[in-house]
Structure 1
């Protein structure tokens, strides 16, 4: 009797990952376009922004770049009205299953205009800024102005898209006024910033640098003990501005 050996057929039940088009945009929400009302602040100040310039780039989905490999950074003025839609950045087709997104807010000498004016693009590039805010704070009959430029570079990763193809980089301006770097529920406050005024009604970086926060009960810095003045504190807060699709969170790391 002869034994016949039949070859085993290996069958692969593979499922192809569908390509999807992801659309990236950036939005500062009502707090930037319309202002942060006094009800949000713990000390009854309100804040409005004339400019809120942001330099953004290196946008990826599933570690794959949206658009071309060498897409330039783009500069947006989030204080411009968008009717709640935000401003488009770019789009790309990517095959991935349940991907996350990543992006950078940082200075770039090769940045181009998103919706910002050419003058504002030049201001950002010449100053080496990633974020530039110009606005005013008001309480009662008192108004103080501020113009702050930041050169921080923050990498936002592990931004969960939860199946969405919208990649909205959402910027939370109220975080600039937090009174703690690591508390779960920090207060939005302005009194200490206002107190830095040297009498001219304009709150400058130098005014904030002159404020020693090491004796403050609030304005805690956790392990970042090198942060000892109010300007360095607010500068660190810039690394908390970025979110994804509204309230979605990312992992944020300063790389400057």
Structure 2
């Protein structure tokens, strides 16, 4: 696992450079010159505005004070970004997302993107019927998202957009395998056994998963449950899925 220490690179100075590669390494069609790909990381409304109570099956409302995502690589055709960069995606952007950087790529159309995430830190609170629970969790679950399904067209001397989308609601799924999971917070709230209002990693490690659906995974405690869900957060360009 990675060290909890993360390195934040100033966005203003971030420059993503493509690695040299053979033409066969790119899935671009008829490349002609190079264009610029602006890469963003976006948590959508569920991160920037929070998860409302009516989206949760048990009535909790979730608000995030921080949602830090460590991006360790992005690969588009033969171009690759490999500078470890931590980006905070909780502040509102009006739907734009937070720019990670710019990547120079061969002009053409790409139908597959790979990227990898490292440390993820989430902090915030949940509120229900006058009860508030806070959390500040750091997850060391390095995950590679391969063959992400999207279509990115880059024209020579033009700029295009690529979005690494983070689905925060996956943290609160009640199943690892259901195609239509419910969003729940009750099991996590109940883990606050000392009733100090804060749900700690130690309390989650001591709490059993109970009725949460682990599928075929050997998961017994709530911290391991959250780690398994963290590995599913990454998508591409909104709802695009990855392996």
Normalized against structure 1, the TM-score is what? Answer: 0.76
Q: Is this contact kept in 2: 1:101–1:167, CA < 8 A?
A: no
Query: How far apart in 1 are the matches of 2:214 and 2:67?
Result: 25
Query: How far apart in 2 are the matches of 1:155 and 1:141?
Result: 39
1:39 match: secondary structure: helix
Task: Number of aligned residue pairs: give it.
Answer: 206
* 1:52 counterpart residue number: 67
1:161 match: secondary structure: strand
Q: Is this contact kept in 2: 1:175–1:238, CA < 8 A?
A: yes
* 2:208 counterpart residue number: 212
Picking from 187, 190, 193, the partner of 1:195 is 190
- After TM superposition, list the pairs within 5 Å mapping 1:20-169 onto structure 2: 20-66=35-81, 71-95=82-106, 96-106=108-118, 130-164=119-153, 165-169=160-164
Unaligned runs of 5+ in 1: 1-14, 107-129, 252-256
* 1:17 counterpart residue number: 31
1:240 match: secondary structure: coil
Alpha-carbon shift at residue 97 of structure 1 (Å): 4.1
1:52 match: secondary structure: strand
Query: How far apart in 2 are the matches of 1:51 and 1:243?
Result: 19
Based on CA coordinates, which of the two structures has the bigger radius of gyration? Answer: 1
Query: How far apart in 2 are the matches of 1:97 and 1:51?
Result: 35
Q: Is this contact kept in 2: 1:145–1:203, CA < 8 A?
A: yes
Query: How far apart in 1 are the matches of 2:197 and 2:124?
Result: 12
Query: How far apart in 2 are the matches of 1:244 and 1:184?
Result: 18
* 1:182 counterpart residue number: 177
* 2:229 counterpart residue number: 237
Alpha-carbon shift at residue 206 of structure 1 (Å): 1.1
Unaligned runs of 5+ in 2: 1-28, 154-159
